[in-house]
Amino acid sequence: DVKVTQSSRYLVKRTGEKVFLECVQDMDHENMFWYRQDPGLGLRLIYFSYDVKMKEKGDIPEGYSVSREKKERFSLILESASTNQTSMYLCASSSGQGNGQYFGPGTRLTVT
């Protein structure tokens, strides 16, 4: 079974803090993704990576950056957290082309 883990289930941070969210997958998947999910807006892609050190912007990259130094690990960084970044953050991974994505449990981030 594919296992995707995320560093925290719940996180509370203050406005202006730098926030790191980590995701690890154990299935040697090439592709990894970061989404945020908000009521009524669905899943929105922030960034994705198709190889180590490779990254591409998704639909809403502003205010975020990512790092992929190892194949199994994909980090999402909020450079200066703001209240409008309060959300559920979901990491996913997949192999090859045209395959389904497998999600981690999510991190519910609250920025106060």
Partner 1 sequence: QKEVEQNSGPLSVPEGAIASLNCTYSDRGSQSFFWYRQYSGKSPELIMFIYSNGDKEDGRFTAQLNKASQYVSLLIRDSQPSDSATYLCAVGLTGTASKLTFGTGTRLQVTL
> Counting contacts by CB under 8 A, is residue 43 touching partner 1?
yes
- Per CB under 8 A, the segment of 11-19, 65-73, 77-85, 102-110 that binds partner 1 is 102-110
Q: How many CB atoms neighbour CB 88 within 10 A?
A: 14
Question: Is 100 a residue that touches partner 1 (CB under 8 A)?
Answer: yes
Segment lying near partner 1 (by CB under 8 A), choices 14-22, 34-42, 63-71, 76-84? 34-42
Binding mask 52-91 for partner 1 (x = CB under 8 A): --------------------------------------x-
Based on its alpha-carbon atoms, the radius of gyration of the chain, rounded to whole angstroms, reads 13
Please tell me the number of Cα atoms within 13 Å of 50 on its side-chain side. Answer: 7
SS3 content of the chain, % helix, strand, coil (to 5): 5, 55, 40
Burial of 63 from C-beta contacts in 10 A (0-12 / 13-18 / 19+): middle
Task: By CB under 8 A, tell whether 16 contacts partner 1.
Answer: no
**Where on the chain is the footprint of partner 1 (CB under 8 A)?**
30-31, 33, 40-43, 45, 48, 50, 90, 94-106
